[in-house]
Chains A and B, each alone.
Chain A
Amino acid sequence: MLLPVVAYYLIFHYAPMYGAVIAFKRFMPNKGILGSPWIGFKNFETFFNSPYCLRIISNTVLLSVYGILFAFPAAIILALLLNEIRNPLFKKTVQTITYLPHFISLVVICGILRDFLSLDGLINDFVELLGLERTMFLAEPEWFRTIYIGSGIWQGIGWNSIIYIAALSQIDTELYEAAKIDGAGRWKQMWNVTLPGILPTIVIMLILRVGSIMTIGHEKIILLYNPAIYETADVISSYVYRKGLLESNFSFSSAVGLFNSAINFVLIISVNRISRKVSETSLW
């Protein structure tokens, strides 16, 4: 019964892993994978010596780190704030509405973003109102990170808070009772009961997040970027896409992709190990 399933994974997940071997070759489509000459780490050398290497690695890391700094706590804070709302109807309404952006397609969100941020778009209307000059936000490198992270928070804060809300509901109410008897006010309760209660969840989510620092998804970047802002917007995955599929430089971009996967793998294993030593929670 499991045969087709195993076959699926073999074909679509493991075979590409084998195909990654072209990172070490100078791939010639007509010769196929096995027939192409082996050039060892040449592709990797080219990548590391390229003027763009530092830029795209730093962009990838920066976007991820900013995401962790801002988007990650935002969801937790939302869950905590929602937890404090007494009116069940209001709470439900807020939840329903904040989950909504998650289901809107990325294409639509980027379309709306592009429109609002254009020279005669909504955002610039406000800028003008404040007496400042209209700016072409999506053409200025400095703005990209804010736009990317901000829209990420807009889309994800509600959905990402679900896990924490679930964890919050699991905290034993007796702990709250005990705290109240000991004279703890709301803040003390949050600090001593709530936060420790959801700490395991937070740690696991953080591990997953850190483990994927190097894989800033290419889809949103590709939808938002343009050559004018490559210096802050171009990340490893969008670079791989451009070099590989648009410029047909297969082995080179495979090398970059492989580099990416390898770092990722090491990251997630290390973060998991560290977390296992520091707290008792880990992915496995």
Chain B
Amino acid sequence: MGEKAFDWFNYLLMIFLMFVMIYPLLFVAFASLSSPSLMLSHKGLLLWPKGFSLESYKAIFNYKMIFISYKNTIFYVVVGTLINILMTTLAAYGLSRKNVLLANGIMFFIAFTMFFGGGLIPSYLIMVDLGLLNTRWALLLPGMIGTTNLIIMRTSFRALPVSLEESARIDGANDFVILFRIIIPLSMPVIAVMVLYYGVGHWNSWFNAMIYLQDRNLYPMQLILREILIDSTTDVIELGGSDSEPIAQTIKYATIMVATVPILLIYPFIQKYFVKGVMIGALKG
């Protein structure tokens, strides 16, 4: 009997949890579509937009930096992820073959970096010395291989039967051919997961951009977001008219929506891939 009560309690708890997870975003969505002046006097929860208005979005789209930074983010996501996948796959393949010289040694060499690092300042100085400050490469190179991702990929490559490779070698294939023609096509699920992990990572990143970039035209979107939301430098966005205070609020909400909606849209479709990735890594690693 206590079991029934527990079940009810559980269901209610879950529903409450889901509400708490979604509501902040709902609030932001509704508020972004509301009239700025009405929002000023509003208190408490929002159940739907108050005085439907697209003013805030219009103001955002008038702000040139939004477009520039959006373009930048897309560039970093696409090119960055490409580089990530290429390098990680190369590494995972090289380390998955048991006959490779020093494979274990190199693996330790790599894994060690997960536990010990030089720190923020030395890394920054390396970037300075390499002349990468204020260039796009500063965002594409430092995180080129994610060690946890590498381990996941290596594990899944190891699971592929050695006979495939052997028969390919008999046919005269060299390492690269084997990698591109055989291993990769067979590992599409893992690669898909990696694309998503790296992709989302690039989309959301801002800190490296903040410390390595000075040229605003190279800024990714999250950095501009940070300016608007955290630094509160909204003086560049004007809706015209005398009330600039209430405007700042709804503009912030609209900016959040503009930055997050793409992720929200593809999320339902990619969610199961992410979960699979964690499972592969967790259960075999």
Contacts and interface: CB of A to CB of B under 8 A. Distances in A.
Chain A partners chain B: yes
Interface of A: 1-2, 4-6, 8-9, 11-20, 22, 33, 78, 81-82, 84-86, 90, 93-101, 103-108, 110-112, 114-116, 122, 125-126, 128-129, 154, 158, 162-163, 166-167, 170, 185-186, 201, 211, 218-219, 222-223, 237, 240-241, 244-245, 250, 253-254, 257-258, 260-261, 264-265, 268
Main SS class of interface, A: helix
A81 B13 contact: yes
A163 B282 contact: yes
A94 B45 CA distance: 23
Interface residues of B, number: 79
Contacts of B222: 105, 107
9 nearest interchain CB pairs? A16-B118, A257-B119, A111-B229, A19-B122, A105-B204, A16-B122, A2-B94, A5-B91, A17-B118
B21 A97 contact: yes
B274 A94 contact: no
A33 B14 CA distance: 56
Given A107-B259, A108-B229, 4 more contacts: A15-B118, A99-B274, A105-B203, A111-B256
B119 A115 contact: no
A97 B22 contact: yes
Contacts of A114: 229-230
B7 interface: yes
A2 B44 contact: no
Contacts, number: 226
A264 B115 contact: yes
B115 A265 contact: yes
A93 B18 contact: yes
B120 A1 contact: no
B127 to A, nearest CB: 9
Most buried by B among A4, A95, A116, A167: A4
Contacts of A170: 283
A166 B252 contact: no
A81 B14 CA distance: 9
